[in-house]
Structure 1
Amino acid sequence: MTKPYQRPSADEPAWWFICSAGELTLDNDDLPPHGRLQDLPMPELDDYQVVWLGELRERSCYLVVADLNDDAFSALGEFKSLRPLVAAQDEALFMMASRAKQVTEFLTTHRYCGRCGTRMQAVDWELAMQCHACQHRCYPRISPCIIVAIRKGDKILLARGERHRPGLYSVLAGFVEAGESLEQTLAREVMEEAGIEVKNLQYVCSQPWPFPNSLMMGFTAEWAAGDLHFDPFELEDGDWYSFDALPDIPLPGTIAHNLIQAVKAQIDRESSA
């Protein structure tokens, strides 16, 4: 088994996920650097935290945790958001980049023990941080969320959150609370955000969403009862939309887009039956 903190060799072809303040070094094609360490315009990595992330297309993937505003990697590209990788619809690459971002978040927020305040140390055989004073051990945080596309007849519920880019409408989502099942979270979030009840929940798919550390678990559901009443603290606008008159929706490659297409497929199957 490969240890997470093994150092890469100079002649090993690899993917390099260089992360700083939640952004990755991406080239003009919005790709992370790829190649042998000895051939790339990279600084010496002795002063950087390097983590082996796994493999992508039979090549090792390494995370390099860079400093804020670190210009030592500028010859490789610019620090950018991961969102262009979603639009590229390369799921494997986006998932590895998501892992890099979330591991960076974990390492930078667990330098000190949350129990006693002692400096934490990396565990060398697994991805974890250990306090040797009180033996408290931490692993990368994952925040489970539900995301659901709700239909009513041949229409779909889409709403606009205040954090969405201008004009964008999407499906509903929310974090799982302690002690809840996914089904309970879905019913609660839909009632809180839109004021309606749903039925016929169907699990569709999941997607890691590193903004900053979510795991999105996607469902479809059907309207059961109630009129739309949106929570003004969560949503600015929303309505039931026909598929021939959709507003601007999330990009292909996102789980929200996949769920919208899943509802459309359900409606198309029923209409052709």
Structure 2
Amino acid sequence: MQDTHVHYVVADEKFLCTEDGKIAFLSHADLARLNFEPDIKHALKSKSSEEDFVVSVAYKEIPGFSWRTLRSLVESVTEEEFQTAGRALQILRWHFDHQYCGRCGKPTEQHARDFAKVCVSCKLDFYPRLSPCIITLVTRGDECLLAWHARSKDEKYSCLAGFIEMGESPEQTLEREVKEEVGVSVANIRYVASQPWPFPGQLMLGYFADYAEGDLTVDGEEIRAAYWYRYDQLPNIPAASTISGRLIRTFVQERQSIRSNNES
């Protein structure tokens, strides 16, 4: 019988890729041919009829292949490819981070039914962690507010984002984060879309918000710089496969449509 299983191969949180920079999908026979001995193997619970897997291996140079971080692949993969690869990466992190119980220190084992680890002693369950976050594009007529985040090495301008704290709604987080990071207030908050984000393990809730009042004052810690940009005069922005890139492009399309209707 032909082996139709697909394996994502990861070493030191880097994916095995082909020479042209695409993620390599290996069969069981491919793993054996390349002398990979997986440390761990987990099913991804693919929607397809055949299971896809992620395997963790020891890092080694393989002729004809390269190792690349998922972040470096964001610009070159589709949103679906990015989400599946992100799930693979988060599964491995969950496995290695929860080999022992955080309550009693005893080893954990795979849960009999759920996608979880369970302590062999106190029976505490450990599911893959997911941190909810907001990400928002603040708009003012034909302009949108974009920021260069301190964690970004390249000068790329994106939406504002932040983690939801205990006791907060996403909308309250949005108002707080925008005020803290760039000093302005917002109104008319509306939800747009969401996206899993594997750096390290978030669920990004995407919103639009209208500028209400205040002068731009960056915090200097989370944000390096922030400016208002016209929809047709944008700087370097994130890829369309990201929720930030999608929010910005949706705004651009809306303003182009309004301008076209006004001129016709």
TM-score (structure 2 length as normaliser): 0.90
Please tell me whether the aligned partners of residues 128 and 137 of structure 1 are also in contact (alpha carbons under 8 angstroms).
yes
Question: What do residues 58-80 of structure 1 show as CA deviations (whole Å, max 9, x unaligned)?
Answer: 5431110224xx22x83572321
Cα 1:64–1:35, aligned 2, differ >3 Å: closer, same or farther? Answer: closer
After superposition, the C-alpha distances for 1:58-109 in whole angstroms (9 at most, x for unaligned) are 5431110224xx22x8357232111344222422221110100001110111
Q: Cα offset for 1:225? A: 1.3
- Give distance in 1, aligned partners of 2:207 and 2:44: 29
The residue aligned with 2:198 is 210
1:43 maps to 35
Structure 2, unmatched stretches of 5+, are none
CA contact (8 A) 1:33 1:76 kept: no
Counterpart for residue 230 of structure 1: 218
SS in 2 for 1:83: helix
Query: Which of structure 1's runs of 4+ aligned residues deviate more than 6 A?
Result: none
Q: TM-score, normalised by structure 1?
A: 0.87
Amino acid of the structure 1 residue aligned with 2:200: P
Are 2:21 and 1:30 equivalent residues in the alignment? yes
Question: Contact 2:231–2:251 (CA<8 Å) still a contact in 1?
Answer: no
Greater shift, 210-219 or 87-96, is seen at: 87-96
1:196 and 2:188 aligned: no
8 Å CA contact retained: 1:11, 1:37 = no
Letter of the 1:126 counterpart: D
The 5 Å alignment of 1:1-273 reads 11-40=2-31, 41-43=33-35, 45=37, 48-55=39-46, 59-67=50-58, 70-71=59-60, 74=62, 77-271=65-259, 272=261
SS at match of 1:13: coil
Once structures 1 and 2 are overlaid, which stretch shifts more, 104-113 or 82-91?
82-91
Q: 1:108 to 1:250 in 2, by over 3 A?
A: same
One-letter amino acid of the counterpart of residue 55, structure 1: S
Q: Distance in 2 between matches of 1:77 and 1:50?
A: 21
Find the aligned partners of 1:93 and 1:57 in 2 and give their Cα distance: 14
Query: How far apart, in 2, do the equivalents of 1:131 and 1:76 lie?
Result: 42
Quote the sequence identity (%).
Answer: 35
Instruction: Tell me which moved more, 145-154 or 240-249.
Output: 240-249
Equivalent pair of 2:138/2:211 in contact (CA under 8 Å): yes
Pairwise CA distance, 1:54 = 2.4
**Matches of 2:195 and 2:64 in 1, distance apart?**
28
Aligned-CA RMSD value: 2.1
Paired residues, what number?
A: 260
Q: CA deviation at 1:164?
A: 1.1
CA–CA distance in 1 between the matches of 2:254 and 2:117? 45
